[in-house]
C-alpha cells in the first residue's frame, strides 16, 4: 500500500540533495568547530559559510543568525531573553500561537510575574489590529509582541509589515514564530523591520533537530544553555555541523524554486477544495484556510458536519497520513487549542482534519483521498 502523505505542516520529506549534503558532511567533516587545528577549522568554516548563505536569503547579516536545535528552542531563547535581558515586562500574543510560545510565556509569567495579554481574534482567527494597537498603547512598560507568521493549524498569514509598524510606533519589540513560513514565503528584512523570528529546517524539506533564531543586530543575547561559548556565546554546545549544512541546502532549494512550487501546490489545494465542496455537503474550512490570499498554500483545515471519532485512524489504515491539528499535541484528548479559541464549542467538537501539502503530492493522490473519504463518511 502506497502512503499518501498530507501532513507536511508537521514535517516534510527530506530532499535527496539535502540527504547528499548531510551524508557528505558526516563522512568528510568530522571536526569540532571549536577545535583550533585544521580539522576543526574546516568544520568551523563550513558552519560560518552556511550562516552567511542563510542570512543572505533574508537580507540579514550573518551575526544575526543563531543556530539552534529547532523552532521551539529558538522561541524559548528569544522570549526568555526578552524578560531577563531586554527589560520586557508585558508580552502581547494570541491564543492560537504554537505551544512553544504559549507555554513559554506561561512559564515566564509564573517565574518573573510578567503580564501576558491576548489580542482579540475574529471567527476566522484573524488578528484584530485595532485591538493590538490599543494593547500597545495601554501603558509605558516595555512590551514584546509575539505573533506567528503562518498559523500551523489553520494557515492564516499575519501581516508582518503592519505589526512591525505598530510595534515600532509604540517602542515595542516584535517576535514571530515563522516556522511555517520560512522556505515557503519570502521575508525581506530590509522591508520588514522585525526584531526576532525563528525557523526549523524540517518544515522546508531539511533535517530534523536543527533550526535558527534571527536576532536583530544590537540585542545582546544571553544563553539558556550553558557550558560553552559557541554561537558567539548565545548557545552552548557543539554545532550540529552536518544538519546545519543540510538546512542551508534545503533553504537554498526552497528559495530558488519558491515561485514555481507555490503555484503548483496552490493548484493542488484549490483542486482539493473544489472536490471537497462537490462531494461533502455542509463542509466548512477553519480559519482562512480556503483563501488564496489570507492563508498559506500548504495548509487546509477542513471541518466536517459530524463527529467521526476514528476518522484519522481509519485514514491511516488506508495509507493516508493527515492530522487533526499540531503534531506537537498529538496524543492529547483535549482537541485543538486553536479551534477551541475561534469556534463555538459545538463546532470545535466536530471532526476537523488538517491536510497539508508539498511539491511531492499529486492530483491523483488527492483523488484517492476523496474516494476514501466518501467510503468512510457516507
Please work out, in degrees rounded to the nearest 5, the angle formed at the alpha carbon of residue 148 by the alpha carbons of 57 and 297. Answer: 70
Beta carbons of 182 and 203 less than 8 angstroms apart: yes
Beta carbons of 208 and 324 less than 8 angstroms apart: no
Neighbours of 334 (CB within 10 A): 7
Catalytic residue among 39, 278, 317, 328: 328
Q: DSSP characters for 76-143?
A: HHHHHHHHHTS---EEEE-TTS-HHHHHHHHHHHHHH--EEEE--B-TT--B-HHHHHHHHTS-SS-E
Task: State yes or no: is 255 an active-site residue.
Answer: no
Strand 143-146 relative to strand 173-177: parallel, antiparallel, unpaired? parallel
Q: DSSP characters for 251-264?
A: HHHHHHTHHHHHHH
Residue 113, all three cell numbers: 510575574
Q: Sheet containing 143-146: give its strands across.
A: 65-68, 211-215, 196-200, 173-177, 143-146, 90-93, 115-118
Q: Which residues are catalytic?
A: 328
Amino acid at each position: 500500500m502506497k502512503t499518501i502523505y498530507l501532513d507536511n505542516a508537521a514535517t516534510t520529506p527530506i530532499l535527496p540533495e539535502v540527504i547528499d549534503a548531510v551524508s557528505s558532511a558526516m563522512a568528510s567533516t568530522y571536526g569540532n568547530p571549536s577545535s583550533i587545528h585544521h580539522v576543526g577549522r574546516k568544520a568551523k568554516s563550513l558552519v560560518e559559510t552556511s550562516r552567511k548563505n542563510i542570512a543572505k536569503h533574508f537580507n540579514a547579516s550573518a551575526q544575526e543568525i543563531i543556530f539552534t536545535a529547532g523552532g521551539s528552542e529558538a522561541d524559548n531563547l528569544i522570549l526568555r531573553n526578552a524578560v531577563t535581558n531586554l527589560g520586557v515586562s508585558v508580552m502581547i500574543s494570541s491564543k492560537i500561537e504554537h505551544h512553544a510560545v504559549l507555554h513559554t510565556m506561561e512559564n515566564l509569567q509564573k517565574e518573573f510575574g510578567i503580564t501576558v495579554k491576548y489580542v482579540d481574534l475574529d471567527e476566522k482567527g484573524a488578528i484584530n489590529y485595532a485591538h493590538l494597537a490599543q494593547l500597545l498603547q495601554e501603558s509605558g512598560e516595555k512590551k514584546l509582541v509575539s505573533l506567528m507568521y503562518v498559523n500551523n493549524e489553520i494557515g492564516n498569514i499575519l501581516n508582518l509589515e503592519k505589526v512591525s509598524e505598530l510595534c515600532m510606533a509604540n517602542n515595542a519589540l516584535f517576535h514571530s514564530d515563522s516556522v511555517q513560513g520560512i522556505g515557503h514565503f519570502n521575508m525581506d528584512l530590509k522591508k520588514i523591520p522585525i526584531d526576532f523570528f525563528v525557523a526549523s529546517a524540517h518544515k522546508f524539506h531539511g533535517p530534523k533537530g536543527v533550526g535558527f533564531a534571527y536576532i536583530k543586530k544590537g540585542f545582546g543575547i544571553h544563553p539558556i544553555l550553558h557550558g560553552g561559548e559557541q554561537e558567539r556565546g548565545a548557545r552552548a554546545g557543539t554545532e550540529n555541523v552536518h544538519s546545519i549544512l543540510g538546512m542551508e541546502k534545503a533553504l537554498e532549494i526552497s528559495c530558488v524554486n519558491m515561485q514555481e512550487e507555490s503555484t503548483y501546490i496552490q493548484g493542488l489545494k484549490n483542486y482539493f477544495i473544489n472536490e471537497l465542496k462537490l462531494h461533502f455537503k455542509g463542509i466548512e474550512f477553519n480559519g482562512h484556510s480556503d483563501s488564496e490570499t489570507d492563508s498559506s498554500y500548504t495548509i487546509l483545515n477542513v471541518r466536517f458536519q459530524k463527529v467521526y471519532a476514528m476518522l484519522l485512524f481509519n485514514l491511516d489504515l488506508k495509507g493516508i497520513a493527515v492530522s487533526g491539528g499540531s503534531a506537537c499535541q498529538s496524543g492529547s484528548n483535549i482537541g485543538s487549542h486553536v479551534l477551541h479559541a475561534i469556534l463555538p464549542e459545538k463546532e470545535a467538537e466536530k471532526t476537523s482534519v488538517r491536510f497539508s501539502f508539498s511539491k511531492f503530492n499529486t492530483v491523483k493522490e488527492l483523488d484517492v483521498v476523496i474516494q476514501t473519504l466518501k467510503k468512510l463518511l457516507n
